[in-house]
Amino acid sequence: MDVRARRRAAASVEIHVVDPDHAAVVGAPVVLLHVPSNDQRTDVTGASGTSQFEGLAPGEYRIEISAPGFTLHTQSLMLAASRRTIEALLDVAPFSENVTVEGVATVPTIGRIKVPLRDQPLTVNTLSSEFIETHALNDVVSALQHVANVSAYKQYGVYQYFTFRGFSDSVQMVDGIYATRGTASIHSLRTWTGSRC
C-alpha cells in the first residue's frame, strides 16, 4: 500500500474541549488511548480549546481529559478511516476547602491567680452587705444558710462549724485574719468551694 493509500485508510479526530458554558478550555491535557493496542497519544488544547490527532488506526478509542478546576472527563468513541470532530464537555469540580486549626496547650485555670488548679476554688458565692442587712443576718451561721452546698451550725452557743459539700476541713478568715471562733457580726460574706487532690 502506497503512502496515499495509507493516508486514506488512517483516521483523525479533532476534539473541542469546552466548559458547561461552552467556552473553550485552554491548556487542558488530552490523552487519546487506542483500546485494542493500549497505544496512547497526548496533546494539550490550544487557544481555541482544540486538540488534533492525525494518522490514527481505525478502531475503538478512549479520551481522558484532566483540566484544573474540572472533574476527570472520559469518553469512548469509534474512529473509522475518516476525519471526525467531537466536543468534550467538562464538568466543574466540586468546591472544596481545607481548614487547619492549630491550638496551643495552656495550663487550665479558672481565674488569674497563679496557683495550681487543685488549689483554686471551683465555686465562689458572695453575700453582699446589702443582702445581709436586708435579711438581718448577724452571724456567719445565719448567712451561710443562704449559700448552696454549705451547712453551718453552732455548738455551745459560740463555736461555729461548717461543712462545704460534705467536707468539714475549712478555714475561716475575718478581714483576712484566720479565725477559730465565731464573729459577733458580719458585713459581707464570700465563700470559696474547691477540691484538693
Q: Would you tell me how many other CB atoms lie within 10 Å of the CB of residue 117?
A: 14
Candidates 147, 146, 159, 152; CA nearest to 121 is: 147
Q: Would you tell me how many other CB atoms lie within 10 Å of the CB of residue 165?
A: 13
Residue 152 sits at φ, ψ, to 5 deg, of -135, 145
Q: Which residue has the cell 472527563?
A: 73
For residues 153 and 72, the model is more confident at 72
pLDDT at residue 187, as a whole number: 58
- What digits encode the pLDDT tens for the residues 93-122? 987 778 888 877 665 555 566 666 666 656
d(CA 132, CA 123): 20
In a 3-state reduction of DSSP, which class is residue 104? coil
Q: Would you tell me how many other CB atoms lie within 10 Å of the CB of residue 128?
A: 12
- What digits encode the pLDDT tens for the residues 53-90? 999 999 999 999 999 999 999 999 999 989 999 999 99
pLDDT at residue 67, as a whole number: 92
Decide if 73 contacts 63 (C-beta within 8 A).
yes
In a 3-state reduction of DSSP, which class is residue 35? coil
- For the chain, give every domain's residue range: 3-89, 117-194
CATH fold group of domain 3-89? Immunoglobulin-like (2.60.40)
Mean pLDDT, rounded, of the chain: 78
Whole-number percent of the chain with pLDDT over 70: 63
Mark residue 136 as left, alpha or beta (left: phi above 0; alpha: psi -120 to 50; beta: remaining): left
pLDDT at residue 90, as a whole number: 95
For residues 167 and 54, the model is more confident at 54
pLDDT at residue 105, as a whole number: 66
d(CA 172, CA 167): 14
Report residue 196's pLDDT band, with 50, 70 and 90 as the boundaries: very low
